[in-house]
Structure 1
Amino acid sequence: MYVRDLAPVLHRYAKFPVVALLGPRQSGKTTLVKHEFPDHVFLSLDDDVLRTFAIEDPEGFLLTHENAHGIILDEFQYAPSLTTYIKMEVDKKRRPGYFILTGSQNFLMNKAITESLAGRVGILNLFSLSINELHAHNLLSDSLEATMFYGGYPRIFTDELPPADFYMSYILSYVQRDIGSLVNPKNMSTFRRFVQLCAGRIGQLCNVSALAVEAGVSVPTAREWLSLLEASYILFFAEPHFKNFNKRLVKTPKLYFFDVGLACSLLRIDNAEVLSNSHFQGALFESFIMADFYKQFCNQGFRPEVYFWRDNSGAHEIDCILDMNGTSYPIEIKSGKTVTSEFFRGIDYWNNLAQAHPDNSYIVYAGEQKQLRKQATVLGWKDIKDLVGVLKGAQLPLKI
C-alpha cells in the first residue's frame, strides 16, 4: 500500500460525523480508508446481498452493523437512499467519523449527500497518484514520457501491470459499470468514441457544438455526456480567470483529463516512445501538469483554484493561474526541454497588464534545471510536486 498525501486530511475531516471520499474508480479510496480506519466495520455495497439489504431495509442494515468504532460504506453510490437513515443516526448520536463513505460516481452521490447530510459531512477527493506521491514511493521515472504514459493508478505499480493492458480494461469497466445504466445501450459505441474525441481535445477550449457534430450526437447529448465524464472523475474543466483588465476575455473552459495515462490509451499511444513523437505530446504534458496542481489542492483539503487566462483574440494566453491567499500566480507550461526566451512572452505580457510582480510568476517545462530568471522562476516538471503547498503556506515567493 502507498501512503497517500490525503491521509492526514482524512483524519482531520473525521471530526465530521460523516466523511465522504470520492474519486475515480481504482484510485485507492478503499485501500486508504481501510488502512486509516482499521477498527471500522467494512461493508462493500458492490456485494449483491449487502446492497439488497441496504436498499430494502436501510434501518435494519445500519442496526445490524452497529459497533463501537464506525462503518465504512464502500461503493456507496449503489445505495444513495441510505443517507436519510444515516442522517437520523447522526442526529441521534453525533459520533465523529463514524460513517466513512466512498464512491466513484459523483452524479449518483452528490444530490443524496448534499440534500440529506448538509452540515454533517466532510467531502474529500482522491485521485490517481500525484507527482509527489510517485516521488515519495520511488515510482517516478527519470523519463517524463514514461511517467505520463504510465499514469498514476496504484494498481499499475502494485501489480506491475502493462499500462496498455490496465487502461483497456479500465475503460471497458468504466463504460459497463459506471455508465451502462445511464447511457442508452444503442449509444454505447458512440459514447466510447465520444470519450476518445474528448481525449483528442485535451488542452483546448471545449467547443461543445463542434464536439457534438464530430461525434454525431445532439448538443444536449454532448453536454450530458461531458457532465457524466466530469462527475465520474475522468475529465475536468479549467475555467477562465477573470479580472477587469479592460480586455475582452474568452469565457469558454478548457478540457483536461485527470490521468494522462488513460488519455494516452484513448489516443492509441502504445508506449513512451510513441508519446515522445506524438503531436499530442504538448497537450498531454499540459494536462499532466494541470491535473497535478488540481490533485495537490485536493490532497491538502483545499478547493482547487486552477484557471487559465486568454484574451478574446487568442493572441495572449497564460496556461495556468493558481489563485491563493489573494494572489494570482501565472504559470506557463512548456513541453520543450530547453528554456528559450519565447517561454516568457506570455508571462511578460500578463505581468505588465496585471501590474504583477515577476517573483510570483513561474515557467514549468519538460526539462529538469531550475532557474531564477528576472521574468519568472523556471521549474522542471518534477519540481512542481509540492508547489501548491509551498505557495499556500508561503509569505514570500518560492526561492530555489
Structure 2
Amino acid sequence: MIRRTMIEALAAARERYPVVAITGPRQSGKSTLARLSAPGLPVVHLEDPTELALIMNDWRGFFARYPDGAIIDEAQKLPELFSALQADVDRLPRMGKWILTGSQQFELNRGIGQSLAGRVARLTLWPFAREELIASPRCPRSLAEAVFIGGFAPLYDETRKLDPVDWLTNYVATLMEKDIADLIGVRNRLSFIRFLGLCAASTGTEITKERFSDAIGIDGKTVESWLSVLETARIAIRLAPHARRFGKRLISRQKLYLCDTGLACRLMHLHDVNQVRSCHEWGPLVETWCINELLKTRQHRGLSPDLWYWRSRDGHEVDALLDGGTRLLPIEIKGTTTASYDLAAGLRHLRTLSKRDSAVEVLPGLVIYGGDEAIPLGDDRAVPWHAIAAQPELMQ
C-alpha cells in the first residue's frame, strides 16, 4: 500500500471538523485514503443505485444504521444528503464523524456551501505525487516515464500490473459516461471528445478560446462552459496570471493544465516513452507535470495552492509564482537535462523589476529541470524534477 502524504492533513481535519470533504479526479485514491484514515467507519457507496434508493426512502433508517458516522462515496449523487447531515451534526456534534468523497467538485461544493458551511473541512486529493511513489517498485525511473504514466492510483497497483495505454483508454470512457455526459448533453458527446483532445494538446499553454472555437465549431460561451466541466470533474485546472505589474503591461489570459500527464499523453495518442520524449509538446508536458507536482506538494499537506504565473506583454515570463503575501517565490520549469545560469534569466529579470514595488519581495527562485543534481545558479538554484517536494520554500 502506497502511503499518501495527505493522511496527516486528513487526520488533523477530522480533529477539528465533524465533516471532511475530499474532492479530486476519479481514481485518485479518495476512498482508499478515507478508509485508511478512519478504518472503523463503514463505507456507503452512492453510485450503487440500491444504496441510493434505500437512503432516499428512509432517512431516519440511514442515520440509525450509521449512528457513529460513515464514509460516503460520491456524495454529490444525493443533493439532499447535505441538509440531512447538517441536522445530524447540529444535533449530535462530534469531530470526524462523516467523510465525504466526490469527483465532481461543483456539485459537492454547492451542497457544502448551502448546508454545511462552517462544519466541514475541504481537501483536494490529486493522483500520486512523485514523493509518494518513491517506495513503489513501479516508480518511474525517468522524467519521460513519469510524464507518460502519470499518477493515477490503479497504475501503481502491483497486483494488477496494468498497461497505462489500455487503462487510460478505459478511464476516458468511464469519465465520459459517469462524470461528463450529464453535464454536456448526449448530442455534444463527440464534439466534447474532440475538445478534450485539443485541451490535452494545449496543456501548459495560454487559453485562446478562438482556437477551440475554430477547431471544433463551438462558440466562446460553450468553450468556457466545457472548460468549467473539466474543472468540475477535476480533469483540468486553470492557472491565472498574477496581478503584480512591476511597471509592465501584463498578459491577462489564463493557462490550462490537465491534472495528469498520463491522461494528456493518451488523449494525444502517444503510445510509449520514446514518443513522449521526442514529441513537439515535450516542453508543455514537462511544465504540466511540474505544475501538478507543485499543487500536490501543497494541497496534499492541506495548504492552499496560492499558485499563479507571470507574463508581461513584451514576452518576459515566469512559469509559476508561489504567493506568500508580501513574498513571492518565482519558479521556472525546463525540460532540459543540463542546468545553466541562463535558465534563471526570467527569475533575475523579475527580481530586478520587483525593486520598483516596495510592498513585495521576490525571493531567490527555483528552476525545476530534467537533470538529477541540485545546482546553484547565482542567487537561484536548479532543482531536479524528482526532488520538488523536498524544497522547504514550497511549504511556506
Deviation, 1:176, is 0.7
- The answer for the alignment partner of 1:60 in structure 2 is 61
Deviation, 1:251, is 1.2
- The answer for the alignment partner of 2:84 in structure 1 is 85
- The answer for the alignment partner of 1:398 in structure 2 is none
- Cα distance change of structure 1 residues 305 and 214 upon mapping to structure 2, 3 Å threshold: same
1:362 aligns with 2:361: no
Q: Which amino acid aligns with 2:301?
A: Q
Indicate the larger mover: 52-61 or 278-287.
Answer: 52-61
Q: Which amino acid aligns with 2:371?
A: G
- The answer for the alignment partner of 1:372 in structure 2 is 376
How many Å separate the matches in 2 of 1:393 and 1:307?
Answer: 16
How many Å separate the matches in 2 of 1:348 and 1:176?
Answer: 48
1:335 aligns with 2:335: yes
**Contact 1:234/1:257 (CA < 8 Å) preserved in 2?**
yes
Indicate the larger mover: 191-200 or 358-367.
Answer: 358-367
Q: Which amino acid aligns with 2:299?
A: C
Q: Secondary structure at the match of 1:241?
A: coil
The percent identity for this pair of structures is 31
**Contact 1:337/1:365 (CA < 8 Å) preserved in 2?**
yes
- Cα distance change of structure 1 residues 223 and 58 upon mapping to structure 2, 3 Å threshold: farther
- The answer for the alignment partner of 1:148 in structure 2 is 147
Aligned ranges 1:161-310 → 2 under 5 Å = 161-310=162-311
Indicate the larger mover: 141-150 or 206-215.
Answer: 206-215
1:28-52 per-residue CA deviation (whole Å, 9 max, x = no partner) reads: 1111111211111211111111111
**Contact 2:327/2:363 (CA < 8 Å) preserved in 1?**
no
How many Å separate the matches in 2 of 1:115 and 1:187?
Answer: 30
Indicate the larger mover: 254-263 or 371-380.
Answer: 371-380
How many Å separate the matches in 2 of 1:91 and 1:262?
Answer: 42
Q: Which amino acid aligns with 1:382?
A: H
Q: Which amino acid aligns with 2:123?
A: L
Q: Secondary structure at the match of 1:264?
A: helix
1:132 aligns with 2:131: yes
**Contact 2:375/2:381 (CA < 8 Å) preserved in 1?**
yes
**Contact 2:376/2:382 (CA < 8 Å) preserved in 1?**
yes
- Count of residue pairs brought into register by the alignment: 389
Deviation, 1:393, is 5.3
- Cα distance change of structure 1 residues 95 and 359 upon mapping to structure 2, 3 Å threshold: closer
- Cα distance change of structure 1 residues 339 and 282 upon mapping to structure 2, 3 Å threshold: same
Deviation, 1:373, is 2.1
1:74-114 per-residue CA deviation (whole Å, 9 max, x = no partner) reads: 11121121111100001001011111111111122111111
**Contact 2:321/2:329 (CA < 8 Å) preserved in 1?**
yes
How many Å separate the matches in 2 of 1:155 and 1:167?
Answer: 10
- Cα distance change of structure 1 residues 241 and 138 upon mapping to structure 2, 3 Å threshold: farther
Q: Which amino acid aligns with 2:124?
A: N
How many Å separate the matches in 1 of 2:295 and 2:242?
Answer: 15
**Contact 2:328/2:362 (CA < 8 Å) preserved in 1?**
no
- The answer for the alignment partner of 2:393 in structure 1 is 391
Deviation, 1:138, is 4.9
**Contact 1:324/1:391 (CA < 8 Å) preserved in 2?**
no
1:73 aligns with 2:75: no
Q: Which amino acid aligns with 1:371?
A: I
How many Å separate the matches in 2 of 1:309 and 1:295?
Answer: 20
Deviation, 1:328, is 0.6
How many Å separate the matches in 1 of 2:332 and 2:395?
Answer: 22
Q: Which amino acid aligns with 1:111?
A: R
- Cα distance change of structure 1 residues 267 and 276 upon mapping to structure 2, 3 Å threshold: same
Q: Which amino acid aligns with 2:251?
A: V
- Cα distance change of structure 1 residues 59 and 225 upon mapping to structure 2, 3 Å threshold: farther
Q: Which amino acid aligns with 2:335?
A: S
Indicate the larger mover: 131-140 or 85-94.
Answer: 131-140
Point out where structure 1 has 5 or more consecutive residues left out of the alignment.
395-400
Indicate the larger mover: 171-180 or 332-341.
Answer: 332-341
Deviation, 1:212, is 2.1
Indicate the larger mover: 131-140 or 20-29.
Answer: 131-140
- Cα distance change of structure 1 residues 71 and 121 upon mapping to structure 2, 3 Å threshold: same
- The answer for the alignment partner of 1:347 in structure 2 is 347
How many Å separate the matches in 2 of 1:393 and 1:235?
Answer: 23
**Contact 1:58/1:82 (CA < 8 Å) preserved in 2?**
no
Q: Secondary structure at the match of 1:112?
A: helix
Q: Which amino acid aligns with 2:154?
A: R
**Contact 1:358/1:375 (CA < 8 Å) preserved in 2?**
no
How many Å separate the matches in 2 of 1:37 and 1:325?
Answer: 35
Q: Which amino acid aligns with 1:79?
A: L
Q: Secondary structure at the match of 1:25?
A: coil
Deviation, 1:325, is 6.1
1:214-271 per-residue CA deviation (whole Å, 9 max, x = no partner) reads: 1211211111110010111101011111214121111111001111000000000100
- Cα distance change of structure 1 residues 383 and 357 upon mapping to structure 2, 3 Å threshold: farther
- The answer for the alignment partner of 1:107 in structure 2 is 106
Q: Which amino acid aligns with 1:370?
A: A
CA RMSD of aligned residues (A): 1.6
Q: Secondary structure at the match of 1:195?
A: helix
Q: Secondary structure at the match of 2:243?
A: coil
**Contact 2:327/2:362 (CA < 8 Å) preserved in 1?**
no
How many Å separate the matches in 1 of 2:395 and 2:149?
Answer: 31
Point out where structure 2 has 5 or more consecutive residues left out of the alignment.
none
